[in-house]
Structure 1
Amino acid sequence: MAMRKRRTARKRTPVLPGTDPGAAASAGRIGSWPLAGGLALLSVLIVLLDVATGDDLRVVPLLVVVPALASVFCTLRQTVWVAVWITSVVVGSGLGGDGTFWDFVFGIGFTVLACALGVAACAARIRHATEMARLRSATVALQRQILRPLPVVTGQVLAYGLYEPMEEDRFVGGDIYEVVESPHGTRVIIGDVQGKGLAAIGAGFAAIAAFREAAVREPTLTGVVDALEDAVVRHNAFSAQTGEAERFVTALVLGFDDESDRVQAVNCGHLPPRLLHEGRSSAVPLARTYVPLGLAGLSRETRAAESFGFPPDATLLVVTDGVTEARDAARAFYALDERLGRWAGHGPRELLDALQHDLADFTGGVRRDDVAALALRRAPAGDGPRATATRGKLRPIAP
């Protein structure tokens, strides 16, 4: 009985999209009954047409293209079944015809060869789809391992997050975020690596690793940003040696402390934060936007931190361009600032839920970039790490 219960529980385990390699192989599967009905109807029409044209024009051999079409849209079992059916129809038509023996033999041989090629093509397609699904699953798993599960509670902030990575290999992006509590307060980064693919993930990992170390070590926010710049430059130098293209990283780095209701910020080519407070939302007007990480050598400016107000009951929203550059069916961009006003009174978790659902409705579920967003609020008194530990494990927000 215990064994039976364990088996039942295993069957009920949900599978996340993009993590089941077999799903890609059967994604375009045609139902068996529609396939059988369509094949029978096509066979009857072709045979009747063949009878009508007589021996002057044989039409039945044209059925050999059907297994080739089935190999594109059907499963391997369905393609084999189609091949057997077509071979049977061609053989039956040849036996009832008036052709010579060698015409019959060559017709059957050609049909068998075409059907075998269709089955082989279907097997190759399914094998390739399975391999690509496994690659996408590994890539998405790698992204999720690099990035911290959210929400996170520190001594200064409550950080909730939304993260939806692309699962198509050529569109996999390099969105990054991290929240680190240090002796100098809580440091937060959100950024986007230029380009797509596994190379972008590598550059993002280099930036995240440098941030985790520098956020604890450096006493100033500009020191953290300088460490990030050096890390991206070193990564680009290594990439050049291995033949990979150099990349830059747009990033917004924030610093929170206990001494004031203000936030320090250094914007390296990223989108400005949005502040939601007292039922209103607005973009935070940062005075300077510096060049992205990895490009400081092209500018004479020295990055400096600036500050802005962050009241205790306000929510600070930071996003990547996967949000602002999302498009609908008419290719119009997502108007984030116009829509945020509807949710200005929401808490951080409710705000991200509303944003996620609204993005899905706006794009029709079709995305071309990663989506990452953080909703930050000042932590109430006594909500530091020790208080967090007493509440059990942090539960990540499902994308």
Structure 2
Amino acid sequence: MHRAGDQQVGKREKRRGKRAGGVRTRRFVRLLPTLMIVGGVLFDGFTPPQFTAIPLFAAAPLIAAPFFSLASTVRTGVAALLAVAVLRLSSGTLLQVVPSIELLTVLTVSVLAVVINGVVRRSNEQLASARVIAETAMRAVLPTPSDRIGGLQVAARYEAAQADEFVGGDLFSVTDSPQGVRLVVGDVRGKGLDAVEAVAVIIGAFREAAEQEETLEGVALRLERALARESDRRGGLDAFEGFITAVLAEVPSGSGRVRIVNRGHPEPLLLHTDGGLEVLGPSVPALPLGMDLGVWPDRADEWDLPAGATLLLYTDGLSEARNAEGVFYDPAERLRGRIFPGPEELLSALTDDVRLHTGGESTDDMALLAIVRPAEGQPDRRRTVKIVGRGDGGG
């Protein structure tokens, strides 16, 4: 218990150290052009005339260009020019050939720094615009589901590896079909806009198939066909991000059962109200969607879904999250013995625990989807925040 607490404190201190280091680096970079100019003045003033500090004056605006605003870059260049002019004027050599060349050199470099600053700013604006477009597209094809669908409590979460990014190949969707509530969680190979396009294809095909197909196996086959059509249209799988791991689940209306088709995806977990946990592995392993290595019929496995139990589906960004020692996060081990009031609290605790495990240094996105079949007459406890079970250290 004490060791787990010490590990948590150590990881928090490590994160604080990294943030403090980043702040110190930024401060130093902002001070560096000024230090270069001041250092140049001191060097030029206290050394013999044959020594020159022109490299320091010329470097100051170049350093400012990629990090400062346009106005600050111009001010840095003007300050460097004035420093050189004042030094040469005080020594009475301002109108000589060499000092004039020095002034021209600093002026040329300052103009070049302004040009560099403009290029960097335009690149940053284009990058920011591309990110906004990608995030908008991602949110359009991957909307957060309602918290209640077909009588089930539902919670979904998309956690990007980088805090300022929301573009990846992880996906989830839940729909209430004539056959019951159907859901999918998947992971497209790759990232960026190509992955978003692949997610859109899968989500669109799933929503259509979930409404029309009688069986969950039929839904999986429709997804396979949709990928094949898109692959043919683009001229091959490599042009369309290759394969997709996915797990599909179905909770028939009025049933206490759940049916699952797993296509090469991490195995779902079933959390019971007494803290027990089941790993829902497939009886027959299957290849991911989109792998053109032959066609085998899908087989859905079926399990009991008791009232109050929680079904958790996730992508490998969770199970492959590693700590500083390279140890993978084991969601089954970390969740076994714990009880959560509802699916939203489960996902919140899970994401916090992953950040603690990795020290906030995740390298892959993760999608999480949890559903609960409430008992008849069970009050809505989704706003309860108490978590019963193991300590925060999670072992």
Into which bin does the TM-score normalised by the smaller protein fall?
0.7 to 0.9
Give the counterpart of 1:312 among 296, 307, 313: 307
1:183 offset after TM fit, Å? 1.0
- What SS is found at the alignment partner of 1:376? strand
Are residue 196 (structure 1) and residue 198 (structure 2) matched? no
Contact 1:323 1:359 in 2 (8 A): yes
1:338 offset after TM fit, Å? 2.1
Q: What's 2:65 paired with?
A: 71
Q: In structure 2, how many angstroms separate the alpha carbons of the residues matched to 1:357 and 1:147?
A: 22
Q: In structure 1, how many angstroms separate the alpha carbons of the residues matched to 2:238 and 2:343?
A: 42
Q: What's 1:388 paired with?
A: none
Name the TM-score, length of structure 1 as normaliser: 0.81
Q: In structure 1, how many angstroms separate the alpha carbons of the residues matched to 2:239 and 2:295?
A: 27
Q: What's 1:141 paired with?
A: 136
Give the counterpart of 2:352 among 336, 350, 357: 357
Structure 1 gap ranges (5+):
1-26, 384-399
1:366 offset after TM fit, Å? 3.1
Q: How does 1:272-351 map to 2 (within 5 A)?
A: 272-277=267-272, 278-295=274-291, 297-341=292-336, 343-351=338-346
Q: What's 1:86 paired with?
A: 80
Give the counterpart of 2:41 among 38, 47, 54: 47
- Residues 84-109 of structure 1 show CA distances to partners (whole Å, capped at 9, x for unaligned) of 11111011112123546222221111
Q: In structure 2, how many angstroms separate the alpha carbons of the residues matched to 1:41 and 1:243?
A: 51
Q: What's 1:57 paired with?
A: 51
Are residue 172 (structure 1) and residue 163 (structure 2) matched? no
Q: In structure 2, how many angstroms separate the alpha carbons of the residues matched to 1:328 and 1:367?
A: 9
Name the TM-score, length of structure 2 as normaliser: 0.81
Q: What's 2:370 paired with?
A: 375
Structure 2 gap ranges (5+):
1-22, 379-395
Q: In structure 2, how many angstroms separate the alpha carbons of the residues matched to 1:333 and 1:54?
A: 62
Further displaced range: 348-357 or 326-335: 326-335
1:244 offset after TM fit, Å? 2.1
Further displaced range: 339-348 or 212-221: 339-348
1:73 offset after TM fit, Å? 2.4
Q: In structure 2, how many angstroms separate the alpha carbons of the residues matched to 1:138 and 1:125?
A: 20
Q: What's 1:158 paired with?
A: 153
Q: In structure 2, how many angstroms separate the alpha carbons of the residues matched to 1:235 and 1:104?
A: 67
Change (3 A) 1:171 1:208: closer
Identity of aligned residues (%): 34
1:149 offset after TM fit, Å? 1.6
Change (3 A) 1:306 1:369: same
Change (3 A) 1:169 1:239: farther
Q: Which residue type is aligned with residue 159 of structure 1?
A: V
1:351 offset after TM fit, Å? 0.7
Change (3 A) 1:141 1:68: same
Q: How does 1:225-304 map to 2 (within 5 A)?
A: 225-240=220-235, 244-245=239-240, 247-277=242-272, 278-295=274-291, 297-304=292-299
What RMSD, in angstroms, separates the aligned Cα atoms of the two structures? 2.8
- Residues 54-96 of structure 1 show CA distances to partners (whole Å, capped at 9, x for unaligned) of 2222224432111111113222222222111111101111212
Q: In structure 1, how many angstroms separate the alpha carbons of the residues matched to 2:339 and 2:313?
A: 14
Change (3 A) 1:196 1:312: same
1:189 offset after TM fit, Å? 0.6
1:221 offset after TM fit, Å? 0.9
Question: How many residues are matched?
Answer: 354
Change (3 A) 1:181 1:204: same
